[in-house]
Amino acid sequence: MEGLLSKDTYEEKDINELKKHDLERILKHHGISARGTKDELQVRILNISSNDDEALTDTAASTPHKKKRERKEPEAVSEELLNKKKYLNKDIDGLHVDQLKQILKKNNLHVTGKKEELIDRILTSIPNNSSSITVSVPKSLKQRGPKQSAPIIVTDAGEVSLGKKGKWSSDEEQALRDGLKVHGKGNWSSILQDPSFSDILKGRTGVNLKDKVVNWSKAGAL
């Protein structure tokens, strides 16, 4: 058997009496597939030639190797498309998954999920430039608690100012009492807009007036 392994060519008399596992040894020694029936192995051995540089492969019993598909690099998304502030369906229709991920990555969004999820994320999570204006309220205008809070007054000119704070003067108290007699309780705006009281109560708000009247009622001074 060892002598058969080193032969360069084979004849039928060399292999007719060999068992299948011996035929497999010969084929493996020559680097040829050893899969298949005994008859197929014998034919494969008889085709071995010292003049052949390429080993024969099993075309009958072995499964052919699939050619590995080469991965093509996705086409880069244009800078114009990457820098859009708002995306519509027409902007991303036809893009590959990798291109969708480029857009998501550019906008610091997650790039995991199915293609439909990526598209939905682009359409819903990348906002347009908002036309609304965000107003920052100065700390001085923020309420610091019920006792220290100051009402905010918006003037006709659109200016924002704090309502008047501090102890009520006797003139203010008298103007409020007179205003209650004229306009009644609850009509704070009417009292503040009445020329007879507006100058004296300047800087006070409807909340100021209401709180003052409540305190009077509790003290029985109304």
Contact by Cβ (8 Å): 62, 35? yes
What are the structure tokens assigned to 45, written together? 């051995």
pLDDT at 51: 42
Q: Are 213 and 185 in contact (CB under 8 A)?
A: yes
What is the sign, positive or negative, of the torsion defined by CA atoms of 11, 12, 14, 18?
A: positive
Instruction: Determine the residue type at 13.
Output: K
Over 50: is that where the pLDDT of 158 sits? Answer: no
Indicate the average pLDDT of the chain: 74
pTM summary value: 0.30
Q: Taking the CA atoms of the chain, what radius of gyration do you get in angstroms?
A: 47
Question: Are 164 and 204 contacting, i.e. CB atoms less than 8 angstroms apart?
Answer: yes
pLDDT tens digits along 82-100: 788 888 887 887 888 888 8
Of 126 and 152, the structure prediction assigns the larger pLDDT to: 126
pLDDT tens digits for range 33-79: 888 888 888 888 788 754 444 443 343 344 444 555 566 666 787 88
